[in-house]
Amino acid sequence: KAGVTQTPRYLIKTRGQQVTLSCSPISGHRSVSWYQQTPGQGLQFLFEYFSETQRNKGNFPGRFSGRQFSNSRSEMNVSTLELGDSALYLCASRLAIQETQYFGPGTRLLVL
């Protein structure tokens, strides 16, 4: 089975712009979670989608949003980018709630 894929792998944006990241889960997985990884804050949970519904949310401002499509693919959007949004954004999928999460390679976002 193919693993979790994320596109793009690298991205450079400037402050004030918005960005959309994409995640395709492992085939058959219905849950997709997003995490932000930075050197200062470590790995932080953003949100989780299951069957197109947001089921869980971390402590991030409203500039961070997401959605999930009927084929379980998910997108994450960050509006009005700030320098501090520079990070590795990781997506993880799992078959169902309380199953193991499998991570993709991440999208590295640099905000200038």
Partner 1 sequence: AQSVTQPDIHITVSEGASLELRCNYSYGATPYLFWYVQSPGQGLQLLLKYFSGDTLVQGIKGFEAEFKRSQSSFNLRKPSVHWSDAAEYFCAVGAQSNFGNEKLTFGTGTRLTIIP
- Per CB under 8 A, residues contacting partner 1 are 4, 33, 35, 42-43, 45, 48, 50, 55-58, 90, 92, 97-98, 100-106, 108
Rounded Cα distance between 8 and 40, Å, is 23
What minimum distance in Å lies between the beta carbon of 14 and partner 1? 23
The shares of helix, strand and coil residues in the chain, as percent rounded to the nearest 5, are: 5, 55, 45
Kindly tell me which of 90 and 111 has the beta carbon lying closer to partner 1.
Answer: 90
Pick between residue 73 and residue 108 the one whose CB is nearest to partner 1: 108
Q: Are 76 and 88 in contact (CB under 8 A)?
A: no
State the maximum Cα–Cα separation within the chain, in Å, rounded to a whole number. Answer: 38
- Considering the complex, what minimum distance in angstroms separates the CB of residue 103 from partner 1? 4
CB of 80 to partner 1, least distance (A): 26
